[in-house]
Amino acid sequence: MKRTVAKLEVRLDSWLREFGPKGRESVAADSVEQLLDELEGRYPKLRFKLRDETGQLRKYVRVFVDGKDVSGTSGVSTGLEGARSVDILHSIAGG
């Protein structure tokens, strides 16, 4: 039996919108990794803005699945079953 992958609403912060969708994007994915693959496929300029060369989230990128920050825990391996929305934020560091 083939499993149906639910579509999620994805939102990027204002800095990341320069490289990706300007508003909300509907994406079907089973994991954060698959979601990022799909976004980078649609918007090639996002490549290496969200993840490093090893495929892990960049230090200053935060991913929120239904409001919960998964960046410092399961990261890209986070499953999205039952999730409804994903927010991706890029924080600016400096001093």
Supply the pTM of this predicted model: 0.88
Ranges assigned E (strand) in 1-94? 7-12, 25-28, 61-65, 68-69, 85-90
Residue 62 — very low, low, confident or very high, per pLDDT cuts 50/70/90? very high
Q: Per the structure block, which two tokens stand in for 35?
A: 């979601």
CATH of the domain at 86: 3.10.20.30
Q: Where are the alpha helices (DSSP H) in the chain?
A: 32-42
Instruction: Please indicate, yes or no, if residue 46 is contained in any of the structural domains.
Output: yes
pLDDT digits (tens, 9 = 90+) for 11-20: 999 999 999 9
First to last CA, the chain: 54
Instruction: Please indicate, yes or no, if residue 21 is contained in any of the structural domains.
Output: yes
Instruction: Please indicate, yes or no, if residue 1 is contained in any of the structural domains.
Output: no
| 8 A C-beta contact, residue 10 and residue 88 | yes
Instruction: Please indicate, yes or no, if residue 47 is contained in any of the structural domains.
Output: yes
